[in-house]
Amino acid sequence: MKQESAAQNTPPPSQHPQDDCDPQDDCDPQALWIFGYGSLVWRPDFAYSDSRVGFVRGYSRRFWQGDTFHRGSDKMPGRVVTLLEDREGCTWGVAYQVQGEQVNEALKYLNVREAVLGSYDTKEVTFYPQDTPDQPLKALAYVATPQNPGYLGPVPEEAIATQILACRGFSGHNLEYLLRLADFMQLCGPQAQDEHLAAIVDAVGTMLPCFCPTEQALALV
Ligand SMILES: N[C@@H](CCC(=O)N[C@@H](CS)C(=O)NCC(=O)O)C(=O)O
């Protein structure tokens, strides 16, 4: 999977000196980092000025959120990811920097995509860029808590794989969601491990031939 380069979304250089300041300073109160760890890592769909691959500590990614819009339906909810508080956890994803007018545009868009359609809440996290882990960034993350109506919670990875294979929604098949996230984790390199994700991908690989022949499986995504 090709990571969108920041250049594809970076507006032309501004003549305003404050745009050249370090986002860690307060000189641009409009600067905001948004951390994506699910579909946002491959389809942010909002304009941003910069992006970093990296991780957050103290959270594990889990396919424990139901989705009746993007990757499922009311009758057959798909499974998408959320963050589980876990002292030993580490979740890899992408942080996107939005500045100036991009901030409100991104927040308005994500409020609909994540909160209204996905029941996610916002949470501040500390993001460690892969290249500069000694310079962490405060970022906004969208997290589906166990109290939200769509929360499905823990089941064996084999059951999650079965559900993913059977579901599709307005944004596409649930299998695409899983495989694009697995692709992203491959890009992050060997230091980025996600055993939960890997177990689901393995279970899907075992079951897929039983679901449909290869050419049909490839047509799913
Ligand atoms: N908040 C997580 C998960 C986001 C996520 O996957 N949300 C679903 C909403 S239920 C979504 O946007 N899906 C769009 C898609 O599946 O393409 C992230 O930062 O990536």
Q: Is residue 149 part of a domain?
A: yes
Q: Is residue 33 part of a domain?
A: yes
pTM of the model: 0.83
Q: Is residue 11 part of a domain?
A: yes
Question: Mean pLDDT of residues grouped by 10 in the chain (221 residues)?
Answer: 36 38 51 96 97 97 96 96 97 97 97 91 97 97 94 97 96 97 91 94 89 62 59
Q: Give the chain's domain count.
A: 1
Check residue 212 and give its pLDDT.
62
Which residues lie below 8 Å from residue 108, measured CB to CB, with a gap of 6+?
A: none
Q: Is residue 65 within 8 Å of 79, Cβ to Cβ?
A: yes
Check residue 135 and give its pLDDT.
97
Q: Is residue 165 part of a domain?
A: yes
Check residue 216 and give its pLDDT.
64
Q: Ligand 1 centroid vs 205 CA: distance in angstroms?
A: 23
Check residue 20 and give its pLDDT.
43
Look at residues 93, 145, 139 and name the one whose alpha carbon lies nearest to residue 119.
Answer: 145
Q: Is residue 31 within 8 Å of 98, Cβ to Cβ?
A: yes
What range defines the domain where residue 47 resides? 6-220
Check residue 48 and give its pLDDT.
98
Q: Is residue 84 within 8 Å of 38, Cβ to Cβ?
A: no
Q: Is residue 92 part of a domain?
A: yes
Q: Is residue 90 part of a domain?
A: yes
CATH number, position 175: 3.10.490.10
Indicate if ligand 1 lies below 6 Å from the C-beta of 38.
yes
- Alpha-carbon span 221 to 212, nearest angstrom: 13
Indicate if ligand 1 lies below 6 Å from the C-beta of 79.
no
Pocket test for ligand 1, best of 70, 83, 175, 178 (most atoms within 8 A of CB): 70
Q: Is residue 1 part of a domain?
A: no
Check residue 118 and give its pLDDT.
85
- Alpha-carbon span 126 to 199, nearest angstrom: 27
Q: Is residue 77 part of a domain?
A: yes
Which residues lie below 8 Å from residue 59, measured CB to CB, with a gap of 6+?
A: 83, 84, 85, 86, 89, 90, 91, 125
Check residue 221 and give its pLDDT.
59
